[in-house]
A and B are shown apart, each in its own frame.
Chain A
């Protein structure tokens, strides 16, 4: 307790210190003084560039920018514009302080966004955002020109959510690009967003995006409030945000969805959800989210409805197979052999005859091996990826069976389970299933079907108790919402999905006019 108090006090001190710093000193009228101060504050870092320009013979200007995060071409344009004012005769009288700066700013506005800077703190913020600051000798006010730049990855096909049909562009690390990708898709003035800076050190741009007359106002307010309550050093990826604002930490299940596809985010916004876009990561967050949503993909709306319904049932089936299959196998072989048809039972027993382990050990052995292979596949250099898959498939699979360490059925079960796990569209969720699989294996080894049942009931109660921004996680199954059944396990034709999800409380409930079912024009009888 004493230790805790001490740490708390120290925290208070740090905060006070920062508060003093934040006020910042105002700029001095001496150019050299300002340069000295900037050098002092940035530790004379090498990538802070100073270029001086003299206009009208006697007015010395200094351009400060940080190399690499600002665009040199634009800075050169700024310099050109400044130099042009050399020759320009109708410049106002120069001995009045404000006028020089004002007229320069007016001139610069033609080429980029400008703002005034009056203290060192703002000046540094502008510099660090990639802007160019122009300081004039004898003035306490500087101009900041918008010249951000630097290397950015181009818009590419998203690597985590591939589709057969559908747009092939994905988010990048740049928040402006990402917002523009969404704006391109939703051209309504009601698409609103607010950018907040989160993270004391990183000052990361975080945008909360929603459609004004669709999203529930209380939801937007809640999201913004939760974001504003974050006080941390750094936000490096959207998961940093997710972990600070999610409803429940001690659960395997994600309560906020991350998406790499702008079309998926646009669709969520149009349903009345809120998107959070974080600078520096191609993964945008969507809230609130339900379990059913995590089992859907963007492509569900680009393929034929009946086929998508089939796919969704397949995914649900795979979800349970991925979670339960090894457990069920263990339960049957150790506790309920009588359930199997006699012929199958004989063939299983014959295979397991030479295996020295009980089923649970055998299964754990194979599952852990597979998990290791999988993690190795993600981490290792791409060049040796192929060799690992050969080693994994041949050596650990076939050879293990031939050596009599595991039975062939177990290999089939482990590989089928692994494949079904890949069908789950959301990686977050498939990770949860992977972990639960081990829990169910142990439960079934101890209590057979009763163990599996107990595990499922506990899981069900847990899921029913989860909420994502106030929306129960199992919506629309529990609480049951009839109108949302059109787009949960089934996917009705788009013209039938005429209402936005009720559970989100949208301000504007209808998506389309009532009777949109297509019907061919009646042919006149000839």
Chain B
């Protein structure tokens, strides 16, 4: 069986959680308090991380699909498992579209969307074909590249003097409620509770005693990084502009000018964004493939093309980027995420807890 190391899980979670977030300023509904929204979302998300980790710890060698089928019974379990396959595929499709539109908007304005997304699909499909172990190895290499690039970017922001922290003041102008409203459930659900997909991968960790520790390290690191990201974006371009621009980061990056030579760095940061999107998309894609393979009891190399074709086809459904984003924020946030990342896992958790309790009571009875 394939095995993952602790660093691989850690790098995977960080890149996955960063994912498409730098494309937007999450929580900009609360204006200049967006960073507080992110912080609150992260803290709220911790509850879901606890739920997922509890489920995984209960059955460390099983994937989400196996756990669901075990606890929900054969029929309901299979239906829910199929829904999860669709959910993962849908998420993968969303990221594919994000990627396509990002590239068309920034790097290659004249290239057709289908070609750009096809490139993405080919890369991801190759990674999925090679399997979990190989894919997470690639993340281990990408991780330092992405992190070093982001921190270089932050350094450049400081060096070029575009930061104006006055823009963050006053904090909590309208009280706590707007922040809480923006954070829960939206920010808690994306990106933080999306970590649910790792229920498909945690079972591959070679030493389960690192599971909680390294997941939490990765989670909190990403959370704080995203808080810092929100602070910087608002401090550079201000909340009003951040809330109306398509890709706020690419408004901020061109402001960097160092020594008259380092300028127009946006293509480089588009590439960094692409790496994060690639990770997120492939994690969902691979999750869908593994889930389907387990459902059908076949090797993942037999189903990956089918899933890939579905994802690629589905990514053309939104008519344009605006519709795509609107669907994402309105429908996905309110129904899809809540159902698959909160409702079902919590029900699963309750079932497991009840079962545990009753088996304990039985043991207690038989002992007395």
Contact = CB atoms under 8 A, between A and B. Distances in A.
Contacts of B270: 449
8 contacts: A335-B108, A449-B270, A450-B274, A453-B274, A465-B131, A474-B137, A477-B141, A479-B7
B107 A458 contact: no
Contacts of B123: 454, 457-458, 461
A331 to B, nearest CB: 9
Contacts of A464: 130, 134-135, 137-138, 141
A341 interface: yes
Contacts, number: 77
B177 to A, nearest CB: 43
B111 A447 contact: yes
Contacts of B264: 338-339
A501 interface: no
Contacts of A472: 137
A451 B275 CA distance: 13
Residue from the set A450, A451, A453 with the largest chain B CB neighbour count within 10 Å: A450
Contact of A457 (B8, B260, B278): B278
Interface in B117-166: 119, 122-123, 126-127, 130-131, 134-135, 137-138, 140-142
Interface string A299-341: 0000000000000000000000000000000000001101101
A461 B138 contact: yes
B283 to A, nearest CB: 14
B5 interface: yes
Contacts of B140: 477-480
B81 interface: no
B10 to A, nearest CB: 10
B136 to A, nearest CB: 8
A477 B138 CA distance: 10
B107 A448 contact: yes
Residue from the set B107, B130, B135 with the largest chain A CB neighbour count within 10 Å: B107
A475 to B, nearest CB: 9
A282 to B, nearest CB: 35
B137 A453 contact: no
Residue from the set A339, A464, A472 with the largest chain B CB neighbour count within 10 Å: A464
A460 interface: yes
Nearest to A457: B123
A161 to B, nearest CB: 28
A249 to B, nearest CB: 17
B267 interface: yes
Interface of A: 335-336, 338-339, 341, 447-451, 453-454, 457-458, 460-462, 464-465, 472, 474, 477-480
B103 interface: yes
A480 B130 contact: no
A451 B108 CA distance: 11
Name the prevailing secondary structure of the A interface residues: helix
A461 B130 CA distance: 8
A339 B131 CA distance: 37
B271 interface: yes
A313 B58 CA distance: 46
B261 interface: yes
A478 B133 CA distance: 10
Given A449-B107, A479-B7, A458 B126 contact: yes
A461 B126 CA distance: 8
Contacts of B126: 458, 461-462
Contacts of A480: 5, 7-8, 140
A213 to B, nearest CB: 27
A57 to B, nearest CB: 79
Contacts of B275: 453
Given A341-B261, A447-B111, A448-B108, A454 B141 contact: no
Contact of B5 (A338, A457, A461, A479): A479
Contacts of B131: 465
B263 interface: yes
Contacts of B263: 341
B220 interface: no
A474 B141 contact: yes
Given A335-B108, A464-B134, 10 more contacts: A339-B267, A448-B108, A449-B107, A450-B103, A453-B271, A461-B135, A462-B126, A474-B141, A479-B8, A480-B140
Contacts of A458: 122-123, 126
A454 B107 CA distance: 13
Contacts of A462: 126
A460 B138 contact: yes
Contacts of A448: 107-108
Contacts of B135: 461, 464
B102 to A, nearest CB: 10
A450 B107 contact: yes
A461 B136 CA distance: 10
A225 B90 CA distance: 47
B119 A447 contact: yes
B265 to A, nearest CB: 8
Residue from the set B127, B131, B134 with the largest chain A CB neighbour count within 10 Å: B134
Contacts of B127: 461
* Top 4 closest pairs, chain A to chain B, by CB: A478-B137, A478-B140, A464-B137, A465-B134
B348 interface: no
Interface string B104-118: 000110010000100
A190 to B, nearest CB: 31
Interface in B55-85: none
B184 to A, nearest CB: 36
Contacts of B7: 479-480
Residue from the set B137, B263, B270 with the largest chain A CB neighbour count within 10 Å: B137
Contact of A454 (B119, B130, B138): B119
Contacts of A460: 138, 141-142
A341 B260 contact: yes
Contacts of B122: 454, 458
Contacts of A335: 107-108
